[in-house]
Amino acid sequence: MINKFFKGMKKGLPIGIAYFPFAFTFGFIATNVGINAFKSGVMSFLLYAGTSQVLIVKLLEQNSTMFQIILASTVINVRYILINMPILKRQENESLIKRFINAFFLTDECVSYMILNNIYDIHETIGFGFCAYLSFGISTILGSILGSYMPPLYTQSLNFILYAIFLYLLVQVLMNNLKYIFVVLTTIILKCILVYIGLSASLSILLSIILGALIPLLLKEEYYGE
């Protein structure tokens, strides 16, 4: 069991290395908006959801309420229920606690890599996910610590990285499935409309996320219903 765990960690090194620049940048930007190394580290180790963490930082910068932040994060993270199924279905005979631990460590990139390389043993997948998880958390703390020692002028000039990260995530999704373009366009249009009619930036983000996903789904149901 231990050998398989470390074997999984070794296989997870490529994902762990790939997470370094993203997590480092997140920690750096979190410091830039007033979140210290301890808090950003806790966020990465407890939440461990890159997209949500970027959104949370953005919403905190917009002075959003706790309810808005929790709801937006939940809407984004609910996708993991479906993403993790291909791995967890292969591990139905394992104990609930092992499957729970494994599910916590699974991410989009981890699941894709495991499926492509036929990694389904639960001890290997836990080791694999733990390696990526550890890299993400440590890289976040490193980014936060180094960011706090950099000149304010330099850190302020890197605010655009948040938008670059969102763009990267968006392009990554669209490259895998072009049908999501309609969802993206709907969300962008809704965001512009909501800001134009005078809603706050944080509320506009929250509503556009929810409605941007809901409207295409309702239209699809209506189409197939006919």
Domain ranges of the chain: 1-154
Local confidence band at 86 (pLDDT 50, 70, 90 cut-offs): confident
What mean pLDDT value characterizes the chain?
81
Distance CA 102, CA 100 (A): 5
Spatial neighbors of 65 by CB under 8 A, at least 6 apart, are: 202
Per residue in 182-199, pLDDT tens? 888 888 898 899 888 988
Distance CA 111, CA 33 (A): 32
Distance CA 135, CA 84 (A): 20
Distance CA 133, CA 128 (A): 9
Distance CA 13, CA 127 (A): 10
- Give me the pLDDT at residue 221, please: 60
Please report where in the chains the tokens 């470390």 appear, as a residue.
6
Question: Where does 76-198 show beta strands of DSSP type E?
Answer: none
* Across 128-141, average pLDDT: 94
CB atoms under 10 Å from CB of 38, counted, come to 10
* Across 100-112, average pLDDT: 87
- Asked which of 76-80, 108-112, 126-130, 197-201 is least confident by mean pLDDT, the reply is 76-80
> Residue 125: which of 45, 8, 11, 1 has the closest Cα?
8
Local confidence band at 126 (pLDDT 50, 70, 90 cut-offs): very high
* Across 56-74, average pLDDT: 80
* Across 162-177, average pLDDT: 66
- Give me the pLDDT at residue 81, please: 74
* Across 202-226, average pLDDT: 70
Burial of 208 (0-12, 13-18, 19+ CB in 10 A): buried
pLDDT of 165 over the 60 cut: no
- Asked which of 49-63, 92-106, 129-143, 162-176 is least confident by mean pLDDT, the reply is 162-176
- Give me the pLDDT at residue 132, please: 93
Distance CA 182, CA 187 (A): 9
CB atoms under 10 Å from CB of 46, counted, come to 10
Report the predicted TM-score, pTM, of the whole model to 2 decimal places: 0.69
Helix (H) or strand (E) holding 158: none
- Give me the pLDDT at residue 77, please: 76
> Residue 45: which of 137, 131, 116, 122 has the closest Cα?
137
